[in-house]
Each structure stands twice: as structure tokens, then as C-alpha cells.
Amino acid sequence: MNTSQVTVNHHADHPGFAGAAGLLCAAVFLAMGRANARLALDIASVSATDRVVDIGCGPGVAVRAAARRGARATGIDPASVMLRVARAVTRTSDRVDWFEGTAESLPVPTGEATVVWSLATVHHWKDVTKGLAEAHRVLAPGGRVLAIERQAADGATGLASHGWTRQQAESFAAQCRTAGFDDVRVEGRGAGRGAVWWVHGVKPWGKSYRAEPSIVVLMTAMPASIIASTSPAASSGSRSAVQEKPELPSLFATTCAAPL
């Protein structure tokens, strides 16, 4: 079977988390989310320069982990009960904020993130094509996308089916490539009940940030005096005439009073 045809959001029809049952699930995710959060930090090499968007953050374990590394982090979830718990257990910090929203419509401006991840959540997305288009939109060039899902056996049912088979992980990777991500890799990690698949990709640098060969040829064919008088880069003597990667857009200018 073509891996791109395998459904990866087989729990898209989940009714959502609410009420007392939602609170109970939030408590479970608080306890169970640590391993994935640690893995996400390592795979995405999160540092203090990063701006992380967590799609389907639940009670926010991975958001807080990213903030502890010094990154700015935004948790997004459609379930208000999850966000209530996330806020309640997080100390106030201007590095963390929370928004109600979905993968398919992220409340994040274009190009604002350097890392977008979704942990144990893609299998719930309503529309994977839209979710990946949104992840691509909010990432700055060079930004990383990451999904982690528990390893599930073929034909698993009930709770055990809340994860991916290898084929589903490969299918999601294929959809990441179709959505425009480069260097997409799939790997398995761990063993037994803790085993997970992760899929990681990179948003390519746009064409406008690369040297255009035709421009380089034109410049080198010109006399040095003309280049010196017309090129600010050449005349300053300190920068290459080829455009450098621009500064990433200033991100998450809005601070929030959410606790860390």
C-alpha cells in the first residue's frame, strides 16, 4: 500500500475533552507527557533563541519544558479545560502564552515560530493537510516541525490505538514532504509501552534568501569600480554582495501573564 494513503488522524472524530472527564485526562497527560516533552526538546534542539508552538498542548508539559530552556513557547489547544489546567500549574512568565485553537487554524502570525511540534496529538487532528499547511505558514524559513506519536500495533483498539503504526508514521512523513518540508525523517525510539515514532522536517529557506546565480554572474562581469559604486554590500567592505539570511522576524511580541 502507498504510505501516503494511510490515515494518520484515525481519532479525528474524538468528541474532545471537557468536564470532569476532561480534568481527569488533563491530570493523566500531566503525568504521562514528560517523556515526550524531553524527547521533543532533544530532537528539535530547543534553545533560548527558539520560539516554540505546541499544537494540542494539553496541560502544557512540553510548553513549560521549552520555556525552562529559555525559549518562548505558545501552547494551543481546542479544549478549554486543558488550557485551564495548563495555566493553573504554570508560574507567571513572559516566555509562555496559551491560546484556544486548533491545528487547522493556528492563532499565530505567519513566520513567527522556529519550532512547531505536536505531541500525541496528530492522530486527533481533523484535517492533516490543513494542519501541515498551518505549521508551514507559522514557521520561519529554516524552522523545524516535529510530531511524536506512541507506537501502536496493527489492528490495535481502544486506548492502545491512540498512536501510529510504522506505516502511519511514514505516511505522515510523506504528507510533510507534500506540504513543503525538507529533510523529513522518521525514527522509532524506546521500547515496549513507552516506544514512540517521531517525524521531523525542516521548512526550507525561501528562494529570495539564496544567491541567484544569474545575479552573481552579472556582478562578476562588471568592473570592480561599478560594483563598488552600486553595491552597498561591496562598498561597505564588510558584507558579502550575496544577500544574507535575514534576521528571523521578531516573534511573540505579545507577552502574557500566563504562569510558568
Ligand X SMILES: C[S@@+](CC[C@H](N)C(=O)[O-])C[C@H]1O[C@@H](n2cnc3c(N)ncnc32)[C@H](O)[C@@H]1O
> Alpha-carbon Rg of the chain, whole angstroms?
21
Specify the residue, 157 or 240, whose C-beta has the smaller distance to ligand X.
157
Taking CB under 6 A as the rule, which mask of x and - marks residues 7-46 in contact with ligand X?
Answer: ----------x-----------x---x--x----------
Comparing CB distances to ligand X, the nearer of 116 and 173 is 116
Judged by CB under 6 A, which of 39, 44, 72, 77 binds ligand X?
Answer: 77
Residue 57 near ligand X by CB under 6 A: yes
Stretch that binds ligand X, among 56-64, 189-197, 225-233, 245-253 (CB under 6 A): 56-64
Quote the CA–CA distance of 169 and 56 in Å, as a whole number. Answer: 18
Partners of residue 97 on adjacent β-strands: 74
Nearer Cβ to ligand X (12/227): 12
Tell me if 66 contacts ligand X by CB under 6 A. Answer: no
3-state secondary structure of 121: coil
Residue type, 137: R
Whole-number Å distance between alpha carbons of 67 and 169: 28
Near ligand X by CB under 6 A: residue from 8, 87, 125, 136: 125
The nearest distance, CB 56 to ligand X, in angstroms, is 3
What does 180-233 look like in DSSP terms, one character per residue? T-EEEEEEEES-GGG-EEEEEEEPPPPGGGS--HHHHHHHHHS-HHHHHHH-HH
Specify the residue for cell string 512547531. Answer: 116
Stretch that binds ligand X, among 114-122, 206-214, 225-233, 239-247 (CB under 6 A): 114-122
Q: Is 102 in the site for ligand X (CB under 6 A)?
A: yes
Q: How far apart are the first and last CA of the chain?
A: 45
Extract the C-alpha cell encoding 119. 505531541
Provide the residue type at 95 as one letter: R
**Stretch of 117-125, 170-178, 199-207, 208-216 contacting ligand X, by CB under 6 A:** 117-125
- Yes or no: say if 89 and 130 are a contact pair by the CB < 8 Å rule: no
The residues facing 144 across adjacent strands are 115, 202
Please identify which residue in 79, 128, 179, 196 interacts with ligand X, judged by CB under 6 A. 79
* Of the candidate residues 35, 68, 69, 78, the single one contacting ligand X (CB under 6 A): 78
**Which of the 8 DSSP states describes residue 244?**
P
Instruction: Choose which of 90, 93, 114, 121 interacts with ligand X (CB under 6 A).
Output: 121
Neighbours of 113 (CB within 10 A): 31
Q: Which is nearer to ligand X, 241 or 260 (CB)?
A: 260
Given 6, 39, 52, 56, the residue binding ligand X (CB under 6 A): 56
Residues contributing to the site for ligand X (CB under 6 A): 17, 29, 33, 36, 55-58, 61, 77-79, 82, 102-104, 119-121, 124-126
